[in-house]
Amino acid sequence: MANKHRKEPQVIDLFCGVGGLTHGFVREGFKVLVGYDSDASCKFAYESNNAGTKFIHKEIENTESKEIASKYRGSGARILVGCAPCQPFSLYTVKQQKDEKWKLLLEFQRLIADVGPEVISMENVPELSRHPVFEEFVAALRKLGYHVSYSVVFCPDYGVPQSRKRLVLFGSRFGQIDIIKKTHPKSRWRTVRKAIARLAPIKAGERSLTDRIHQARKLDATNLERIRSTPAGGSWSDWPKRLKLDCHLRSSGKTYRSIYGRMKWDMPAPTLTTHCTGIGNGRYGHPDQDRAISLREAALLQSFPRRYKFVHPKEKVHNKLVSRHVGNAVPVRLGRVIARSIRKHLEEVNLSARQRSSHKGSEKRADGSRQNQRHRLGTAR
């Protein structure tokens, strides 16, 4: 097994979506063989932006281990990565041990146990780490012989222009993988301005003439007045009373300060969700244009490249569908961080193996030299 890392490693991505994690690995020079996902609508974006990587529309619970194992070719390190859908890991369900959707994590565990990849990684919501099922998952991996490490990552520290926190887990049969050092101190965080300021201005309900997914949802007259009454970084609490909803006027409404909010130019965006292009779902208003962020802006805040294709040229752009694709994705820059951490680990293992080999060779040569010396002394006598 010690020689596995010397050949080109190969990656399979489970729960791949439109390819945020896969694209991160591709950008770091890894060969990603296939991506699995239960949502067939992700196929175009996944394959169009990750040339040579095949999308397989299949539910993980219906995928046999031998099928996964057969996808790997050659003798390089086999890497299995994935992010089980995080809906069951909400604050509400953290306390629910028997939620059926926990099975996706357990299915991931099943495939790891049966396939036995040399390296694994999982990205998910931080709340998962507080659930007993996660402790059981980690214990099972260690029992299988993996060195397991995990941490909660604050995405701006790694160049993602979004205040997203994610749980990142690594497992390796070669030794512990440590996530690479932070790449962006606070003074160099990527902000909303750095991510989207260069896009052409558009109005609510409009679409750019040069970019089909740089389009924003239409707003009715009342919501248009509401967004105009919202300053950068503000929310519904800044509106005049006549624009506020009844729920805002109740005491319980004070806990929802972020909805109908605007982003700030010089801060990272809030955590994006599958509803990130609607002003009523969070602080998703554009910093100074009177609308919610566009689909392209959401993708850029998820650190997808500007030219990432989400919709076939001959198909209509469905805002809700693309919003879901973007919101569910692993930020590409976080994918690159995960890939770099694994690459660094494999290089260190490779170096250690070469050093051990060199040391053994030196010992062998030294032993041979001592034997020759004893032979020469014996002949002289």
Q: Annotated active-site positions, please?
A: 86
Q: What order of strands is seen across the sheet that includes strand 10-14? A: 54-57, 31-37, 10-14, 78-82, 119-124, 165-172, 147-154
Distance CA 134, CA 146 (A): 15
Q: Whose structure tokens read 């041990």?
A: 97
Q: Whose structure tokens read 């959707």?
A: 101
Q: Whose structure tokens read 């060195």?
A: 147
List 215's β-bridge partners, or say none.
Answer: 207
Number of H helices, E strands in the chain: 11, 7
Query: Using only C-alpha atoms, what is the Rg of the chain?
Result: 25
One-letter identity of residue 98: K
Distance CA 187, CA 89 (A): 32
- DSSP 3-state helix, strand, coil percentages of the chain (rounded to 5)? 45, 15, 40
Quickly list DSSP for 76-129: SPEEEEE---SGGGSTTGGG-TT-GGGHHHHHHHHHHHHH--SEEEEEE-GGGG
List 55's β-bridge partners, or say none.
Answer: 35
CA 216, 218, 223, 226 torsion: positive or negative?
positive
* Residues whose CB is less than 8 angstroms from the CB of residue 340 and which lie 6 or more positions away in sequence, other chains included: 28, 180
Residue 246: its H or E element: helix 246-249
